[in-house]
Amino acid sequence: MSWLTDVRNRYNSITVQRAMTQRAISHRPDLAGRVHILSARGDDIQAPSMADYSDYASVHEQHVWFYRGLKVLGDNFAPLVTRVVRGEEGEPVDNHPLTLLFDEVNDQYGQNELKSQWLTSMVFSGESFMEIVSGERNRAPMGFWSRRPDRISVIPDATRPAYPLVIGYRWSDNENSDMDWEADEMVMWKFHNPLNPWRGLSMIGAARHSLTIDIF
């Protein structure tokens, strides 16, 4: 059961609880008829699972304050120009292959859209995946494609269990066939997760209680 489904189930049960708790509380008559909904402590924040990704996307659409916060971040981050510079003087190298690649990310969108997708993934899941598309005749990158983190599995190197070395990635969903990538065909960013060296830790986890209260 996902976090958002659990919250909604608890919300639906409140009507039944209310009918059973209409009598006044002996030492707090001002609380008569009220139903306990949520107890929250500062150390009670849990790391979200990948199953929460769709829940968070739904929250993003339905709760204006969360949407507004993410939009402010995106409006300030996406327009920043990504380019290669030379040395400490910071002189831009306009003809560098990586600079040219970011100027035209792929045939569908540019770097502003790519960075907007990157930011959204980092907020929702604490990690972001970017597929590197190479040319047919060589390994030189021809473009980037952002991939949904909840659809990506990280394949660790089983021969080095003490070291978090990745040997590949796998995409899986209910509609398309699985896809596999070698480690050098994907770039993964993640916020450090002290509980799992392979996956990121979402910043939205700290807002779970506020979102729960907002739903109630």
55 and 140, same domain (yes or no) = yes
**Size of the chain in residues:** 216
Q: Are residues 198 and 94 in the same domain?
A: yes
* Predicted confidence (pLDDT) per residue in 137-173, tens digit: 666 788 889 999 988 999 999 898 888 889 999 988 7
Mean pLDDT of 36-55: 56
Same domain, 29 and 53: no
Residue 44 covered by a domain: no
Whether residue 159 lies inside any domain: the answer is no
78: helix, strand or coil = coil
> Which pLDDT score, from 0 to 100, does residue 24 have?
45
Q: What is the reported pTM?
A: 0.72
User: Is 163 within a domain?
Assistant: no
Enclosing domain of residue 13:
1-37
**Other Cβ atoms closer than 10 A to 33:** 11
Given a cut of 70, whether residue 16 has pLDDT beyond it is no
Counting other chains too, the contacts that 167-170 makes at CB distance below 8 Å and 24 or more residues apart are: 169/129
- Considering the domain architecture, whether residues 11 and 64 belong to the same structural domain is answered as no
Same domain for 122 and 28: no
Which of 1 and 77 is assigned the larger pLDDT? 77
Q: Is 209 contained in some domain?
A: yes
Residue 162 lies in a domain: no
Return the higher-pLDDT residue of 21 and 128.
Answer: 128
Q: Residue 46 has what pLDDT?
A: 46
Q: Is the pLDDT of residue 37 over 60?
A: no
pLDDT band at 58 (very low <50, low <70, confident <90, very high): confident
Q: What was the pLDDT predicted at 170?
A: 92
Please give the residue that has the higher pLDDT: either 21 or 127: 127
- With respect to residue 142, please indicate whether it lies within any of the assigned structural domains: yes
Check whether residue 30 and residue 85 sit in a common domain.
Answer: no
Q: Are residues 27 and 118 in the same domain?
A: no
Task: Answer whether residue 42 shows pLDDT above 50.
Answer: no
Question: What's the whole-number mean pLDDT along residues 120-125?
Answer: 87
Q: 14 and 110 share a domain?
A: no
Q: Which has the minimum average pLDDT: 35-44, 182-191, 197-206?
A: 35-44
pLDDT at position 137, please? Answer: 65
Residues 6 and 65 in one domain: no
Q: Chain centroid to CA 207: how far?
A: 13
- Better pLDDT: 46 or 130: 130
pLDDT number for residue 27: 61
Q: What pLDDT is recorded for position 164?
A: 83
For residues 29 and 114, membership in a common domain is answered with no
The predicted pLDDT at position 94 comes to 87
Work out the mean pLDDT of the chain and round it to a whole number: 78
Question: Parallel, antiparallel, or unpaired: how do β-strands 166-171 and 179-182 relate?
Answer: antiparallel
Rounded CA separation 44/210 (Å): 13
pLDDT at 44 > cutoff 60: no
pLDDT at 31: 65
Residue 4 is predicted with a pLDDT of: 67
